[in-house]
A and B are shown apart, each in its own frame.
Chain A
Amino acid sequence: MKIPRLTDTTLRDGDHAVSHSYTPEMVRTIVRNLDEAGVRIIEVSHGSGLNGSTIQQGFSTHSEFDLIKVAVETAKQAKIASLFVPGIGTSDELREAAEIGISVIRIAVHCTEADVTEQYFRLAKELGLEAVGFLMMSHTQPANVLVEQAKLMESYGADCVYVVDSAGALVQSGVRERVSALKEALTIEVGFHAHNNLGLAIGNTMTALEAGADQIDGTLRGLGAGAGNAPSEVLVAVLNKMNLDTGINLSILMDVAEEVVAPLMETPIVIDRDNLSSGYAGVYNSFLLHVRHAAEKFGVKASEIMEELGKRNAVAGQEDWILDVAVELAEKKGLKV
């Protein structure tokens, strides 16, 4: 097996879990530690990508460009990455992030909509950025569709395409099929991004590596949307045991996860009923806190909302459907809306 490149996305995926409340001080501390530990890529942006500070996705308490600037200034070795979702971000924000000094942009779309990314891949390459494609909600499509979509991204100039298990809904056979199909069809690198709704974040990441993945994602303590991600420190420990030396210092990662990141969590991230129902129904993980808000407002169960969102095939960016579903469920129960 190949030694993978690990991207730590505590400061991007984890942004959902802290309700977009990262401060420049937190970013400085986390980046300093990750950088010292030898993590090569650190992702920093709103959880929903550049310009994600909205009612729909949740407003940030601090300007994400200020946070990215702190990250760029703090990192001595590591490259800073940001996430970009077309429609949430526009070329303007991509340019601004590049100006501040990010080196990698990860361009994310629902896994059937790759053709909207062309404009942004071309711009990213013009700006001299490494450009990674993110096929979100990859569990919803079979391997052949993902291959088609990944090839479009490759043709636009992508340096790598990720199979993204946004809902934490894939089991190992599903990961193996998808990653190996992409490996076979593409000449560029392939990545895998896990969520832990079914308790498989680490296991699925290892399966992806067995299937040939070149890049993987983790977050400190698993701090990420919904059920969280594969914890970076656990990934490094497991890779060490497999004699795959990433060169990352495990003890620094363990310390920062324990002493800096764990205290940021309002409650520990566990596979509770809401997270399990979300993964089981195949619902985008960043919906969790919005679903809980709607459940409380309209007096319905979060897991019922999850189930219905799964039936309706909601995709990333459709937090407004949560309200719609909650209102309908409340009406059905005869609750006053």
Chain B
Amino acid sequence: MSKIKAAILGSGNIGTDLMYKILKNEGNMELALVAGIDPDSEGLARAQAKGIRTSHHGIAAILEDPEIKIVFDATSAKAHKLNAQSLRVKGKLAIDMTPAAIGPFVVPTVNMKEHIESMNVNLISCGGQATTPLVHAVNRVVPVHYAEVITTAASVSIGPGTRQNVDEFVRTTANAVQQVGGAKLARAIPVFNPAEPPINMTNSVYAVIKEEFDEGAVISSVQSIVAEISSYVPGYRLKGIPFIDYRETPWGRLPTVVIMNEVAGDGDFFPTYAGNLDIMTASAYKVGDLYAAHFLGSKEVSR
């Protein structure tokens, strides 16, 4: 069976973990190239060791190869803003893993179908991939007036890029909780915890509801989306059963759905505590695979 050729741009942590995910899965993509800018990067060496073609001349090698149809950008928001246009001109789909947010936000379990013809899609953030589907799962049963998501990750798993721009994480994730999750109002708060041994990524979602609703229906909607997510992020699970807590809010005393979640990584390149990195690369893989299937016209995209 023929496969769609894909390339990874950026041979850092995210790019390298994604490479292992593409190599270990029998999907619709074939990894044709890993391109970076640092000839001595560990990521490029690891790609070569796996027999993958590499380049340290950045995007050039990708643009020269007309066979490459899907490009995962794992560089930085700044670099992606420079690269997006040339990828588009060459007719290559960009799956943007940086916070550049040029294209629409996508989450595999929520809105792939809407954006299947898009040429540039953005994966939000680790917290966004973990929490927006949970908000969506509540919102498809009863409108969510306000959602607040707390993402806690081990300090050692948070790179310098994120640390230098916490504002960007906060804004991008909160925007996605509204746009993808469907909440009318939203907040996103990151927490970095330095405990040793490092903790797994955890997420909490508070969804404030203004009207009467069927608690059981909300809980089963959440449980079913968690099952779907764990089909492509195996370490994604609920902590306890979601419950309703009454809270004093600016809109009165209201029922608040509390959902607690934990994400353990698959240990492809990062240690398993780094669920925050794993959910990003696993989601990117899933998105890429759905597009590849669409390009092949062989399988129906489920959502």
Contact = CB atoms under 8 A, between A and B. Distances in A.
A and B interact: yes
Interface stretch (A51-59, A183-191, A219-227, A236-244): A51-59
Question: Contact residue range for chain A?
Answer: 20 to 34
Contacts of A118: 164
Interface string A254-286: 000000000000000000000000000000000
Interface string A324-337: 10011001000001
A87 B193 contact: no
A336 B41 CA distance: 53
B240 A324 contact: yes
Interface stretch (A198-206, A299-307, A312-320): A312-320
Interface of A: 53-56, 59, 86-88, 90-91, 110, 112-113, 115-116, 118-119, 297, 312-315, 317-318, 320-321, 323-324, 327-328, 331, 337
B164 A320 contact: no
Contacts, number: 97
Q: Which 5 A-B pairs have the closest CB atoms?
A: A320-B204, A313-B195, A112-B194, A55-B206, A327-B240
A313 B189 contact: no
A113 B208 CA distance: 31
A119 B240 CA distance: 37
A119 B148 contact: no
Contacts of B54: none
Contact of A56 (B166, B194, B206): B206
Given A115-B163, A320-B260, A55 B194 contact: no
A90 B206 contact: no
B170 A116 contact: no
A87 B190 contact: yes
Nearest to B241: A337
8 contacts: A53-B250, A55-B148, A88-B189, A119-B164, A119-B165, A320-B202, A323-B258, A327-B243
Given A110-B192, A313-B193, A315-B191, 17 more contacts: A54-B148, A56-B148, A59-B248, A110-B193, A110-B194, A113-B192, A115-B160, A115-B163, A119-B167, A313-B194, A320-B260, A321-B152, A324-B239, A327-B260, A331-B240, A337-B241, A337-B243
Contacts of B187: 54
Interface in B151-198: 152, 155, 160, 163-167, 169-171, 187, 189-195
Q: Is the interface of B mostly helix, strand, loop or mixed?
A: strand
A54 B187 CA distance: 8
B263 to A, nearest CB: 14
B249 A55 contact: yes
Contacts of B150: 56, 317-318, 320
Interface residues of B, number: 39
B245 interface: yes
A113 B194 contact: yes
Nearest to A113: B192
B197 to A, nearest CB: 10
Nearest to A328: B240
A232 B23 CA distance: 63
Interface hub of A55, A90, A113 (most chain B Cβ within 10 A): A55
Contacts of A116: 163-164, 166, 192
A308 to B, nearest CB: 13
B256 interface: yes
A317 B171 contact: no
B167 to A, nearest CB: 5
Given A110-B192, A113-B155, A115-B163, A297 B245 contact: yes
A119 B199 CA distance: 26
A86 B260 CA distance: 23
B247 interface: yes
B193 A315 contact: yes
B260 A323 contact: yes
A200 to B, nearest CB: 25
Nearest to B148: A55
B256 A87 contact: no
Nearest to B169: A87
A94 to B, nearest CB: 10
